[in-house]
Amino acid sequence: MTSTTVTPLAPAAPRPPASSIDTDRVADLIGQLLVELGEDPERDGLAETPKRVAAWWSDFLSPGSAPLATRFTEPHLAGQLVVVGGIGVWSLCEHHMIPMNLQVTAGYLAEEEVVGLSKFSRVAKHFAGRLQVQERYTREVAEHLAGVIGREDVAVAVRGLHLCMSMRGVRMEEARTTTVHSGGRFSTDPALAQQFLLLATSQRNAA
């Protein structure tokens, strides 16, 4: 089962830097949660769990800063469509705080400059390191890449596996959600948009 959405969302609330997270307090809260779930946080196997969970939250909320522009002059590539796929990141659904796996494909039109390919995966990881919804994540990645590239000619497609759909409710293990954000010529040129979607789909199927 696959669903596709381009629903606009409000921006996420600003999040505190990981350096401001009180890991001792978080560990204490996790210990309290274990008690409320009928567990003994002092038993073997759980004694260090609150600290481990607190450390993971601090690490998860420290994905690194989003990269700034790094462009290389390549005049002979002007007008070429560049599509980067095979980028996989994990984030957390902000509705249930359950993981979601996001497969990201990004495309842009080169105009005498190209962008270092490592920037795409770093941007994808940066915006995944927070409580998210896939729709907003797709837009945030696209808007940041537009800033890196210096133009609005950017398209991003994200295909997500949401464990909140696989593990709870009707448990749709095979359900996937696809979101697309298109800007500049990708939003005004149907042929270009279709070419990007075809390449995004072929890269995903080849993975």
pLDDT at 73 over 70: no
User: What's the pLDDT at 6?
Assistant: 39
Question: Which CATH architecture describes the domain 18-60?
Answer: Orthogonal Bundle (1.10)
Taking a C-beta distance cutoff of 8 angstroms, is the pair 5, 181 a contact?
Answer: no
pLDDT confidence of 3, banded at 50, 70, 90? Answer: very low
Cα gap 111→20, rounded to integer Å: 41
- Taking only the tens place, the pLDDT of each residue in 126-147 is 999 999 999 999 999 999 999 9
pLDDT at 5 over 60: no
pLDDT confidence of 110, banded at 50, 70, 90? Answer: confident
Q: What is the helix (H) or strand (E) element at residue 102, kind and residue range?
A: strand 99-109
pLDDT at 42 over 60: yes
User: What's the pLDDT at 118?
Assistant: 84
pLDDT confidence of 69, banded at 50, 70, 90? Answer: low
Which residue spans of the chain are classified as CATH 3.30.1130.10?
Answer: 64-206
End-to-end CA distance of the chain: 19
pLDDT confidence of 20, banded at 50, 70, 90? Answer: confident
CA atoms within 13 A on the CB side of 75: 0
Cα gap 69→16, rounded to integer Å: 24
Cα gap 110→153, rounded to integer Å: 9
User: What's the pLDDT at 85?
Assistant: 94
Out of 3.40.50.300, 3.30.1130.10, 3.40.50.1820, 3.90.930.12, select the CATH number for domain 64-206: 3.30.1130.10
Which residue spans of the chain are classified as CATH 1.10.286.10?
Answer: 18-60
| Mean per-residue pLDDT, 149-156 | 93
14 Cβ partners below 8 Å, 6+ apart?
A: none
Cα gap 7→135, rounded to integer Å: 7
Mean pLDDT of the chain: 85
Q: Length of the chain, please?
A: 207
Q: pTM here?
A: 0.83
- Taking only the tens place, the pLDDT of each residue in 174-207 is 788 999 999 999 999 999 999 999 999 987 777 6
